[in-house]
Structure formats: C-alpha cells, structure tokens
Structure 1
Amino acid sequence: MTDLSQSPAGAAPRKHGGSLLEQTPRTKKRNAAEARFRAYGIAAITAGLIMLVILVTTIVGKGTGAFQQTFVTLNVELLESKLDKKGNRNIEDIKKVTTFGYAPIIKGAMTAAVEELGIETGLKPKELAGILSKDVAAQLRDYVIANPDQIGQTVEFRFLASSRVDGYLKGRVTRDSIVNDKNISAEQLDLVDALAAAGVLEKTFNLDFITGADASDARPEAAGIGVSMLGSLFMMLVVLALALPIGVAASIYLEEFAPQNWLTDMIEVNISNLAAVPSIVFGILGLAVFINYMHLPTSAPLVGGLVLTLMTLPTIIISTRASLKSVPPSIRDAALGVGASKMQAVFHHVLPLAAPGILTGTIIGLAQALGETAPLLLIGMVGFIASNAPETLADGLLAPNSAMPAQIYEWAKRADPAFYERAWGGIIILLIFLVTMNTLAVILRRRFERRW
C-alpha cells in the first residue's frame, strides 16, 4: 500500500508540528496587506470626517450672523399732532397716516438721542436716521396701530439698524469697502461707533429671522425665513397625505397580491427607474400637468406638494416593499394556517411587523423632498415676497408662497452681502430639520424593529 504521507521523489520532506504562531513569509505578506487595507479604511473615514468638519464649520461660521441683528434703542415721542390730529383715537383715522408721516418722528427721536448723548456730528437729521432700516417707519406704524393709547406719550422703541450698520458691527463691512457706497458714509460709521459705545446700539438675537417673511432688496436686514418654513410645512403635509397611503397601498399589492408576470415586472422596473430620475424632470411634469393643464395656482404649496409627492412615491414604495420582504414567510403561513384570509394575514400580521421600515422610508423620503429646490423653481415658488403668514389651511395650500430651499437660492443670488449671510443662516435651519428627521427615523426604527 502506498504511503500518501510520503513526499514525492526529489522533494524536500515536509515539516510537521510547526507552531500556528510562526510567521512565514506568506503569512507576513497577508498580514501586511490587511494592515494596509485597515490604514486605507481609517484614512478614508478620517478624510470624510475632516471634510464634514470643514463643511459644518463653514456653514456655522458664515450663518450664525443671521441669528443676530443690530438694533438702535431710542425714546420716541408719539406726537398727537402727527398721528391723531382729531384726538379721538379712532383706529381707522390712525391707519390713514402713512409711513411718510412717521419719518419726522423718527428723525426727531434720532436727533434728540444724539444731542442727549453729547455726540458731536455734522450729519443732518435725514443722515442721522440713515443708519436705521428703511423698514422702521412701518415698524413704528404697526406699533401705534396696535397701541393707540400710547399716542401723545414718549415710549422706548427698538429700531432695526440698516444692513450696512449691521454688517459693520459684524465685520462684514469695513471703512475701505464703503468708499463708493452711497448707502453709508464714514461720518455715519463714526456715529455708529459712538452709539455703540453709549449702549444705544447693540446686537441681539434676531427672532424676526426665524418668524418673519422675505424682504425687498432695499431692506435685507428685515428678511426672514419664517413664512418659507410654513410653505415647506404645507408642502410636506400634502406629500405625507398623498405619498404615504398611495405608496404603502401600491407596495402591498405588488408584494403580496400581484401575479408574477411581465406586466408586474415592467411596473417594478419603472418604479426603480423613477427613483433615479432627476428631480427637475418632476418639476417639468408638474408645470405641464398641474399648472398648464389643470390650471392650479402658480407658486402654491399645493402644487409643490403634488410635484414632491410624485418624486417621493418611488422611495416609499421601494422601502415599503423591502420591509414587507423582511417579514419571515412563517408569519404568513401561520396566519393562513389558522384560517385567516390573505388580506387578514397581511393587514393583521405582516404590515404591523413591517411598520418600522415603512416609517423609516417615509421619513427619509420626506427629508429628501424637504431639501429639493429644482422642481420648485419650475413651478414658480421663487421670487414672491409673502408679507405675512397664512391664516387658514386653504390659504396655506393655495396662496402663493416659497419654500426654504427656494428661499435660500433666492437669497444666495442677490447682490447684497446681507442676503448672502441669511442664505447661510437658512442652510443652518434646513440642516437642523433634515438632521432631526433622519435622527427620528433611526430612533423609530430601533424602537420598533424586531429581529428574527
């Protein structure tokens, strides 16, 4: 009998009983390759983290200024001779006084403050008031209409400073940069320094940026993203109300009830293709169908929600089908084995177990829709200045409005640096929403997920 353990003729005898810890040249080569791969992986993760830190630092550094605004606190004498000549405090009569009627009052308050502080300046009253926003007359008028009993008294009022003054205190505007600027002068900056030293002029938290509406190019310091946030909210309500039930129903039918034939295969392929279609294509579709054919109002959140619903449906369908597939077949078999119908097995047993995945896919789809800009540009949700928040649900859905991504785009393309600062601030708010939604998706999945 041949001894198979013997070495072939002429070959060196094999060594037996060697230690497993022995490092042969081949083992060293494999270990070195593994070490290199680990190093490459760590380097890739480190590079990604560095880029993320740079991105976040840049956004926060350039956007935090939008959450602070410069205000000038003045004692304003609300002259009855200017605001309520009849003296009857009738609201309709008070409303007849336009913002031009408040300009002399503001100039007088500014002049009195400079004289009281002992600031020597050669500026005229109009130039003194030039450091204030062009929106201050409207602010004071709104205050008087809301508080007619204050007419005839002297009140302390906080006025919004102009964008140049605000930029000067934030370092965005310098004395060299205003040489050819007609909106501010070196003498006015001297006045700003004196008022800041006296505590009359200071930077505080800018709540109006979060709650306010967009402003014209002449009043960038008054611009806010609040109304655009409401526009995004109404669009997300439309997306949630339409995409979730339609997407889940389509997924259940395709996964549990549809026959496996060429038509079903074609539908599945098209759904996968729709998930990869550029979002601007959905904007063109919305422009052609919802606006040109169905004559829905341009710039309405309802139209934006319908367009984003079409874009979000493939994401929800794909994630829902994946969740349904993850439920073990034994759940279905057990339900059918005790006499349940196919529908009862799906809705009473399979669907509840797939709910965490469905919720995750829905939230991720909504987060994706929240950050879309291209479809909204095509349906006209840009370039409109909403003066106030909608009062009813119908107004919120049908009245012209914008959305956060479109508003950020509008600010970024304007020439005034104050708008650019607000664009970065809007990005911070949008990222907070997106991070919150994605975090919520992870929490819900871990909270309700069942492992098999």
Structure 2
Amino acid sequence: MTDTNRNLTQEQVRQRIEQHLASRHRKEKVFRGLGIASVAFGILAVLVLFTDIISKGSGAFVQSAIQLEVTYDPLVLGIDKVDEESLTWANFTGVIREALRERFPKVQSRSEKRELYSLVSSGAPFTLRKRLQSDPELLGKTQTVWLTADDDVDTFVKSLSDSKEGFRGRTSDQKAEWIQQLIDSGELKKRFNTTFFTQGDSREPEQAGIRAALLGSFFTLLVTLVLSFPIGVAAAIYLEEYAPKNKWTDLIEVNINNLAAVPSIVFGLLGLAIFINFFELPRSAPLVGGLVLTLMTLPTIIISSRAALKAVPPSIREAALGLGASRMQTIFHHVLPLAMPGMLTGAIIGMAQALGETAPLLMIGMVAFIVDVPTGITDPATVLPVQIFLWADSPERAFVERTSAAIMVLLSFLIAMNTAAVLLRKKLERRW
C-alpha cells in the first residue's frame, strides 16, 4: 500500500470502493440500455418495413371483376363454327362491347362508348375464347360471366374503402358513376386474384402474374444447387482432409475468403464474359443464371462445409483409422455424416442468398420482358427479384401493389429457407 492509502480511514476506503462499483454498474446499465435500444430500433425498422409492404401489397391478392350477360352471337363473332382457326379470328371484343352497351343503353356518343369499353380489361376477350373453346355449344347462347376489370377501375374500387371519393386518377366522373352503379347492383365485386399466381408478366397490371418468375427462380436455383453443393463439399473435404499445409493452400484459402466478399455484380460480369460471350450459351436462361449463382455461392458453401468438418472431433478420425479404416472410409463413413447437418445449413443459406440476388442476373439478360412460362433450364426466363425490379420501374399505379405483393412472396420463401436451416441445424446438430 502507498503512503496515501495508509492515511485513509476504513470508512474512506469503503466509500471509494462503493463509488467505483457504482460507476461500473452505471456503465453496465448504459451499455445494456444501448444494446436493448439497438435491438428495439432494428425490430421497429423491420415492423415498419413489413407494415408498409403488406399494406401496399395485400390489394394485389384480390382483383375487381365485372358481371356481364354475354351473348356468343355468330354474327358479332364473325364465325359459324368453333375450331382453332375460327377462334383465332373471332371478334370477342365486339361481343364484350355489345354486352356493355346492353347494360348501359343510355350511352350513345363515341367518347362515352370509349369510356364504357375501358371498364373491362383488354385481356377479357381471351377469357371468352377459352370458354367457347372448352364448350362449343355456347355459340349462339347467352352466358353470365365475370370478366376482369381494367386496372384503373380496380384501383378506383379499392380506394373507395379508404375514402368516400376514392382515387380517381384517369377515371372520369361518368366512369365513376357507372362503377358505383355496378357496385350497388352487385355486378362488380372484388375476388381472389388467381391471375397473380397463374400467369406470366404483362404490360397490363390486371393481367400480370408471377408464375413465370417463380418457375424461373426454381429452375435457376435447381441448377445452382446441383452444381454448387457437390463442388463446394468436395472442395471443402480436399482442403480440410487432404491438402498439405503450405503457402499454396494458404493462398487458396485466402482467395476463397476474399471471393465471399466480392460484389455480386462482378460474378455477373464474369458470367457474361465466359458463359455467354465465350461459350455462347443462351441469354436470359436459367442455365446461365444457375452457373453465375453457382460461382457466387461456392465460397459460402465451402467455408461453411470446412467449418462443419473442423467441428468433428479428431477422436472420430483416430478411432476409425485405429480400427483399420482407410482415409476415404474414415471421411465418407464417419466424418462426413457427422458434418452433413452443418453443410446442409450452409447450403440452404447460400441458396437463400442466391434467391434474392438481382445484380448478377441483370448482367446476363434475365431482365428481359418474359411473358411465356418457362418449361426448362434453357427457355428464356426471369426470376422473382428481377420481376420486382421491372414492376417497380413501371409507371402504372396498379403495379405498386403487384411489386409489394411479389416482395411478400419473395420474403416468404427467404424466411422459410432460413427457418428450415435453423431447424435443421438444431435437429441434426450434435454437441461434443
């Protein structure tokens, strides 16, 4: 003890200790409070984000439809029989316009008729074509059908629940009056929007769907999984179990870790230069997208697989070798089964990362406007994140809710994949 401490009384020493402890406790409380505030801010930000997305996107799951008494008049259709060639040239638009004029007989002027015809979606004639094709006996008969409303009508109808006036946009007073008449008579209702899940992209919001993007994402991820998981696991096994510890393997390990931090658009440029320009693979195809995403996810899978192999106790290897097993038998019969849960977790996380990528796929042409639903890995396709990017850039107001709804679907898949990774790790992981 110093001379100063010797001169202090016992009471003074106790007071200094209490002051010191009180200062430490205050610092701990401040640090704990900052941690709680950070977590609360993060949760609040997520809640605000999800609330905004859900509030904007929930409307895309319902679509306004108009009930009409449609007569399949052969004179208006311009056909006398139902076959593939006749249906191709049949005037279904005229049939719909005739039904609208019968519903609103007071409409006479050309400008009013133009407004009236715009109540129904431009895709409605294809609905009638499918009905007549499936049931040729309808020719010359009248049928009550529900036809998809135009996107401006749909936007106005959905806005009526928010305010009495509603969002007019391009909807005139006369058109708003017709819409209100249809609503009051029960001839205009909001129904579940099956088109959103069964159709591909379209220039018209009411006809746009995510099926093509979903299948494009599926085929792209399928190619990515088939290539990246075996290659990543094989590379991890070699580096962890067989590769000698020298400067070359150290250089490889450093580069793998660096590749995990490379911006994803760089992999897109690499795929554009190699797979498209050099190997001349088709642009905007899930095959090329899967190859690019394989390059991007390989570092993640290799790193997680090596960590899973390191987690297996050395005693497992020593026991197997001591009983006469070969090096390969030790790895594939004992080490690999124990490390597989960690490897699968890393693979799922890598696939979730690949599912949400946009930049590398833009570079290989998957930003193209794709209407047809892909049937294989070489068909032109887009993916869900790119579809969201395209819709977000569209000027129509109705595409805002389609964009948010597509984000909800994408987030659902990402949450499901990450939840599966956590559950898989907890269920299969062994603690030593």
TM exceeds 0.5? yes
Within-5 A mapping of 1:16-415: 24-83=18-77, 85-87=79-81, 89=82, 91-98=83-90, 101-114=91-104, 124-171=112-159, 181=170, 184-216=171-203, 219-387=204-372, 389-390=373-374, 395-415=375-395
Q: CA contact under 8 A between 2:239 and 2:249: conserved in structure 1?
A: yes
Q: Which amino acid aligns with 1:340?
A: A
Match of 2:6 in 1: 11
1:229-281 deviation digits (Å, cap 9, x = unpaired): 00000000000100000000000000011111111111111111110000000
Name the CA distance, whole Å, in 2 between partners of 1:205 and 1:9: 83
1:371-405 deviation digits (Å, cap 9, x = unpaired): 00001111111132223x23xxxx42111111000
Q: Are residues 351 and 109 of structure 1, via their aligned partners in 2, closer, same or farther at CA, if it must alter by over 3 Å?
A: same
* Alpha-carbon shift at residue 8 of structure 1 (Å): 6.8
Name the CA distance, whole Å, in 1 between partners of 2:223 and 2:156: 43
Q: CA contact under 8 A between 1:384 and 1:400: conserved in structure 2?
A: no
1:36-90 deviation digits (Å, cap 9, x = unpaired): 1111111111111111111110111111111111111112111133447434x4x
TM-score, length of structure 2 as denominator length: 0.93
Name the CA distance, whole Å, in 2 between partners of 1:86 and 1:53: 59
Q: Match of 1:270, SS?
A: helix
Match of 1:3 in 2: none
Q: Which amino acid aligns with 2:357?
A: E
Root-mean-square deviation (Å) = 2.6
Q: CA contact under 8 A between 2:159 and 2:167: conserved in structure 1?
A: no
Q: Would you say how many aligned residue pairs link Structure 1 and Structure 2?
A: 428
Q: Are residues 77 and 324 of structure 1, via their aligned partners in 2, closer, same or farther at CA, if it must alter by over 3 Å?
A: same
Q: Are residues 10 and 310 of structure 1, via their aligned partners in 2, closer, same or farther at CA, if it must alter by over 3 Å?
A: closer
Q: CA contact under 8 A between 2:159 and 2:166: conserved in structure 1?
A: no
Q: Are residues 9 and 305 of structure 1, via their aligned partners in 2, closer, same or farther at CA, if it must alter by over 3 Å?
A: closer
Q: CA contact under 8 A between 2:107 and 2:113: conserved in structure 1?
A: no
Q: Which amino acid aligns with 1:257?
A: Y
Name the CA distance, whole Å, in 1 between partners of 2:276 and 2:134: 40
Q: Which amino acid aligns with 1:283?
A: G
Name the CA distance, whole Å, in 1 between partners of 2:263 and 2:173: 50
Name the CA distance, whole Å, in 1 between partners of 2:363 and 2:74: 50
* Alpha-carbon shift at residue 195 of structure 1 (Å): 0.6
Q: Are residues 342 and 121 of structure 1, via their aligned partners in 2, closer, same or farther at CA, if it must alter by over 3 Å?
A: same
* Alpha-carbon shift at residue 177 of structure 1 (Å): 6.8
* Alpha-carbon shift at residue 129 of structure 1 (Å): 2.0
Name the CA distance, whole Å, in 1 between partners of 2:400 and 2:5: 82
Instruction: In structure 1, list runs of 5 or more residues that go unmatched.
Output: 1-5
Q: CA contact under 8 A between 1:327 and 1:354: conserved in structure 2?
A: yes
* Alpha-carbon shift at residue 121 of structure 1 (Å): 8.9
Q: Are residues 447 and 10 of structure 1, via their aligned partners in 2, closer, same or farther at CA, if it must alter by over 3 Å?
A: closer
Q: CA contact under 8 A between 2:284 and 2:368: conserved in structure 1?
A: no
1:124-157 deviation digits (Å, cap 9, x = unpaired): 4443221111111122222222322222222221
426, 429, 443: which one aligns with 2:423: 443
* Alpha-carbon shift at residue 15 of structure 1 (Å): 5.1
